[in-house]
Structure 1
Amino acid sequence: MIIVYHDNKKVDSIFDHQRQENILVKENHILKTLMHLSSRHSDRILVWCRIECKALVNYEEISDSFKIKNTMISYGNGFYLPDAIGYVENSPFINVNTSVKYPSWLMHSAVGAIFGSTLLKFKNVNFTSDFNYDLNSIAKLGMANGLFCYSEPKLLWKPIAFTEKPAGLFALFRFVKQHYRTRWVLLLSLNFLWHERTLTLLPLLYSLFCRNRKFGGSILLETLTTGAITRLPSIDVIIPTIGRANYVHDVLKDLAQQTHLPHQVIIVEQNLEEGSKTALDFIYSESWPFKIDHHFIHQTGACNARNLALKHVVSDYVYLADDDNKFGAHIIEQTLNQMLAFNLEVVSMSYLQKNEVEHLRQPMQWPTFGAGCSIMKSSYLESVSFNMALEFGYGEDVDFGMQLRNNGADIIYLPHIPILHLKAPIGGFRSTFKQPWIDDADRPKPAPTVMLNNIMNKTKWQILGYKTQLCINYYFVQEVKNPLLYFKKFNKQWDRSIYWANVLNK
């Protein structure tokens, strides 16, 4: 690796860690120096480090972090972009858990690293003299095109004393204008006015003259590890179901054709009627090349069913499936090979319905989690589960994904591995359930399960930004057209949603 030491404004020195020798400094501009090094040393890890952190950097951890070339990591105290970025960014990538390795495009100038050939892909982007701004820009542009970005606390042996000075309003508005659609700077200004009583006319006007930054390339997965995969790990499959016997039978047939067979398939069949019998007789009447662990229960709900199934997982990996999946004979083998080759611990596969088209071309960090189309390391099951407070609502898969991230896992989307979602018109694992707020005079908006998901997994600014968007969008589909009356009504509905979310969370 090659390390560029800097004072956040200019380069101080350059050191070749492998050869244990200094490199002559020819350019004061930090990013230009890194870019120049990437053109000459495209096969090396390039590190940036504040002078104050020189003695604190864990260089062995930096080296160990690069199992694949398309990696960008950093760590520091505080963030360059202020919390208000949450007004326009709703993804989990800015609600960073700084105690674990966490997927985030929020970068630090204190210490970080990127592979030379990866940085070189950004050579045509017009950068500024603000190193912090440009680091965040590279990560933001890159993450959408296959760059895996992380906050990694292990880069430092111990916490640093100084805190990153956050960007001002002008830099924030410029960043939003250059990396989002123009409408988002207008929404950003509206959020400041509504939620902070702050007029941001000048930063808004300034940002409108800033050109969008674009990255036209793609960053493909490239491994840095050697050695062939000699044996695939064991895997279990879980399937929650209710009233879809024929579909479950088809899923089992697909699993029986796999080139890498599951160790066991755990089926949780739900039927509320006491005294009823299983509709899945074929589990016992037909021969299967794997063990089937069948649970017949008189309680409905996706969260409960999946949690019950996950408790019985014994293999190294687990495939969380639906009862109306359709997939090819190589899906388990192909996915496990990808996970082992590129050191991926949790993946979600392409999960489209008939006639839908997959538009993504390369694997990327995924902001959600597919509860019916994902494979993950079973070791994480000790720390995560589907939140029962979200039962009979929506968002349990998003929450499950956040639990994984907060435990140091990353979720990678594999668009080239398809699963067909048949979207069965009957049965399904969701059953009709009357929520307690359905008769509330002030109908909660959004649904309390959505609000609870936001409260648990979003920042304050993300929640307020969501409130602004919902307020605008909902106005056009409801009946009260007087803006003042509508605003009063909406705030009541929002408050009721918070109330019921807190009830759910007790």
Structure 2
Amino acid sequence: MLILFHKNNTVVEVLNTTTSEIIVIEEKEPTKGLFFLASKYSHSIIAWCHILNKKNINIEAIQFCFTSNNVMVSNGNSSYLTDAIGYVEDSLFINVNRETKFPTWLMSSNCGAIYGEKLLMFRECISNSNSLDYNLNSIAKLGMKNGLLCYFSSEIIKDNKEVYLDEKASETELFQFVKEHFRARWTLLLFLYLMIFEKKFLLFPLIKSLLFKQKTFNKFITSEAITEELKINTSVSVLIPTLGRAKYLYDVLKDLAKQTVMPAQIIIIEQDDSEIAKSELNYITSEDWPFKIEHRLISQTGACNARNIGLQLVTSDYVFMADDDIRFNKNTINEALVFMQAHDFNAITLSCLRENETEKRKIPIQWAAFGSGCSIVKTSVLRNLKFDMAFEHGFGEDTDFGMQLRNKGIDVIYLPYVQLKHLKAPIGGFRTTYIHAWDNEKVTPKPSPTVMLYNLKYKTVQQLKSYKLTLFFKFYKKQTIKNPFIYYRVFKKRWEISQDWANNLKNKAV
């Protein structure tokens, strides 16, 4: 590994950790220095570190992060692009959990690393006129959607108590970054949000940003698998909650029975909210199956409760969380598990599209969601995790579960080429319409309290403000009140009611 130490946007020294040799390079600007090292040592990890953290850099921890060569890792106390980037970026990658390893494209010149050959892929779209922090964030932002796995790591700095403070982008640099990496309209929206919420009238940065073009990066960043064979004795359980879809579930079981890697255990949590619960799944006992089936019939409806019951019954190395209305080929489980083991991933979401949909993604990427009916997770990382019952009968329980994983340091990878077909069965669901407590409100909450709950739990203040204003404009076109002043009062009231209910839901046990 090569480490470039810098200070005041100048290269101080370069260390080869393998030989403990100090390498002399002519390039004094850090970005140029990194690309020079990458061209000379393309198969090595190229790291950067502020000189004040020289004693604190954890070389072993950096190397441990690179389970594959398409990784970029960094450590900083805060975001170079400031909290204002939350007005533009709505994803989970902005609100970084700095106590663990967390997926994010927010990089810092404080300390970090990337493989030389992957860094070289960005040479044409990186300008040396920008600061090191700007360029590191640019590389990660461009690379993440094309297969670069980007993380904050709490462990690559042993003791981050030095005087060094993270660099902050100027207002002009912030607008430039948004213009180069987001759709053009977001520069105008950023200007609007800053004016409304922070009373800043940044006309000059807005105008100057118009001089820049949006950056493009269309290269796929991949990593070769260590092995293409499944480890011996790897076992998998399949967890399926179901209600009123006996025919569809039967087809799912038939697909599972054809798998080249046979599941050791199928866990079926059947729900029936009738006065006398009665199973519709007679074929579980009337037919022979090549796996053990754990069947539970419960009278309480709700996917969160059903999955939590099922998770307690898992006995295998991995658990495939599946819907009861999907179809898949015989190699699905094998291909998914081989991918996970080859790249040391603990949680993946599989492609799960409807009949007329086409998968547009070509390579695995870090995923901003989690599919509770199309994901495979290593059982050992699920310890102490449950679906939050506050989301029961609402929206967001799967994305919340994904965030629980990420806050434990477990990334979720989307695997586009292992595909399920989602039938979206027209039957099933609840026998009767579920009435939420807030459905009795005279004024209907907007958004749904479970959506609000997720936003309150995981979004930054800036993201929440941006979401609120965007919802305000979008919903205006769909509702009947056309007087903007009356609409504003009604919208504000509905938002406040949603917040109140979301805070009440927080008190429910997870």
Q: TM-score, normalised by structure 2?
A: 0.96
Match of 1:183 in 2: 185
- Letter aligned with residue 150 of structure 2: C
* Deviation of 1:230 (Å): 4.0
Deviations 1:4-60 (A, max 9, x none): 111140111111111221212211111111111111211111010111111111111
Match of 1:80 in 2: 80
Match of 1:3 in 2: 3
CA contact (8 A) 1:245 1:279 kept: yes
Which structure 2 residues correspond to residues 342-421 of structure 1 after superposition, within 5 A? 342-421=343-422
Match of 1:40 in 2: 40
Distance (Å, rounded) in 1 between the aligned partners of 2:480 and 2:392: 30
Match of 2:169 in 1: 167
Farther off after superposition, 86-95 or 485-494 = 485-494
Match of 2:235 in 1: 234
Q: Kindly tell me: are residues 227 and 496 of structure 1, through their superposed partners in 2, closer, same or farther at Cα, counting changes over 3 Å?
A: closer
Please state whether the residue corresponding to 1:98 is helix, strand or coil. Answer: coil
Match of 2:30 in 1: 30
- Letter aligned with residue 189 of structure 1: F
Distance (Å, rounded) in 1 between the aligned partners of 2:233 and 2:150: 27
Farther off after superposition, 356-365 or 381-390 = 381-390
* Deviation of 1:151 (Å): 0.4
- Letter aligned with residue 312 of structure 2: K
CA contact (8 A) 2:268 2:295 kept: yes
Distance (Å, rounded) in 2 between the aligned partners of 1:124 and 1:71: 20
Please state whether the residue corresponding to 1:47 is helix, strand or coil. Answer: strand
CA contact (8 A) 1:3 1:15 kept: yes
Please state whether the residue corresponding to 1:340 is helix, strand or coil. Answer: helix
Distance (Å, rounded) in 2 between the aligned partners of 1:212 and 1:431: 50
Please state whether the residue corresponding to 2:122 is helix, strand or coil. Answer: coil
- Letter aligned with residue 177 of structure 1: K
CA contact (8 A) 1:76 1:160 kept: no
Which structure 2 residues correspond to residues 211-360 of structure 1 after superposition, within 5 A? 211-223=213-225, 225=226, 229-231=230-232, 233-360=234-361
Q: Kindly tell me: are residues 51 and 36 of structure 1, through their superposed partners in 2, closer, same or farther at Cα, counting changes over 3 Å?
A: same
Which structure 2 residues correspond to residues 406-445 of structure 1 after superposition, within 5 A? 406-428=407-429, 432-445=433-446
Q: Kindly tell me: are residues 62 and 418 of structure 1, through their superposed partners in 2, closer, same or farther at Cα, counting changes over 3 Å?
A: same
Distance (Å, rounded) in 2 between the aligned partners of 1:232 and 1:180: 46
Distance (Å, rounded) in 1 between the aligned partners of 2:102 and 2:267: 31
Which structure 2 residues correspond to residues 130-169 of structure 1 after superposition, within 5 A? 130-161=131-162, 162-169=164-171
Distance (Å, rounded) in 2 between the aligned partners of 1:230 and 1:180: 42
CA contact (8 A) 2:230 2:334 kept: no
Deviations 1:447-498 (A, max 9, x none): 1110011001111111111001101111111111122221222111111110
Distance (Å, rounded) in 2 between the aligned partners of 1:92 and 1:430: 35
Distance (Å, rounded) in 2 between the aligned partners of 1:475 and 1:375: 40
Deviations 1:211-268 (A, max 9, x none): 2121121101334x57965425211110000000011111111111111111111000
Distance (Å, rounded) in 2 between the aligned partners of 1:227 and 1:393: 40
Distance (Å, rounded) in 2 between the aligned partners of 1:117 and 1:195: 42
- Letter aligned with residue 307 of structure 1: N
- Letter aligned with residue 444 of structure 2: R
Distance (Å, rounded) in 2 between the aligned partners of 1:111 and 1:8: 14
Match of 1:116 in 2: 116
5+ residue gaps, structure 1, are none
Q: How many correspondences in the alignment?
A: 505
* Deviation of 1:129 (Å): 3.3
Match of 1:194 in 2: 196
Distance (Å, rounded) in 1 between the aligned partners of 2:448 and 2:149: 33
CA contact (8 A) 2:237 2:267 kept: yes
Deviations 1:351-388 (A, max 9, x none): 00001000001100000001110000111221321111
Distance (Å, rounded) in 1 between the aligned partners of 2:210 and 2:242: 52
Distance (Å, rounded) in 2 between the aligned partners of 1:431 and 1:410: 37
* Deviation of 1:119 (Å): 0.4
Q: Kindly tell me: are residues 175 and 118 of structure 1, through their superposed partners in 2, closer, same or farther at Cα, counting changes over 3 Å?
A: same
CA contact (8 A) 1:221 1:363 kept: no
Match of 2:103 in 1: 103
Q: Kindly tell me: are residues 140 and 411 of structure 1, through their superposed partners in 2, closer, same or farther at Cα, counting changes over 3 Å?
A: same
Q: Kindly tell me: are residues 229 and 8 of structure 1, through their superposed partners in 2, closer, same or farther at Cα, counting changes over 3 Å?
A: farther
Q: Kindly tell me: are residues 325 and 448 of structure 1, through their superposed partners in 2, closer, same or farther at Cα, counting changes over 3 Å?
A: same
- Letter aligned with residue 91 of structure 1: S
- Letter aligned with residue 175 of structure 1: F
Q: Kindly tell me: are residues 47 and 409 of structure 1, through their superposed partners in 2, closer, same or farther at Cα, counting changes over 3 Å?
A: same
Q: Kindly tell me: are residues 356 and 194 of structure 1, through their superposed partners in 2, closer, same or farther at Cα, counting changes over 3 Å?
A: same
Q: TM-score, normalised by structure 1?
A: 0.97
* Deviation of 1:442 (Å): 2.2
Please state whether the residue corresponding to 2:439 is helix, strand or coil. Answer: coil
Match of 2:16 in 1: 16
Distance (Å, rounded) in 2 between the aligned partners of 1:227 and 1:338: 8
Please state whether the residue corresponding to 1:416 is helix, strand or coil. Answer: strand
Farther off after superposition, 35-44 or 417-426 = 35-44
- Letter aligned with residue 449 of structure 2: P
Please state whether the residue corresponding to 2:296 is helix, strand or coil. Answer: strand
Distance (Å, rounded) in 1 between the aligned partners of 2:288 and 2:94: 49
CA RMSD of aligned residues (A): 1.5
Deviations 1:375-414 (A, max 9, x none): 0011122132111111111111110111100010000000
Distance (Å, rounded) in 2 between the aligned partners of 1:311 and 1:230: 25
Stretches of 4+ moved more than 3 A in 1? 225-230, 428-431
Check if 1:450 corresponds to 2:451: yes
Please state whether the residue corresponding to 2:3 is helix, strand or coil. Answer: strand
Which of the numbers 209, 212, 236 marks the counterpart of 1:210?
212
Distance (Å, rounded) in 1 between the aligned partners of 2:239 and 2:362: 28
Match of 2:51 in 1: 51
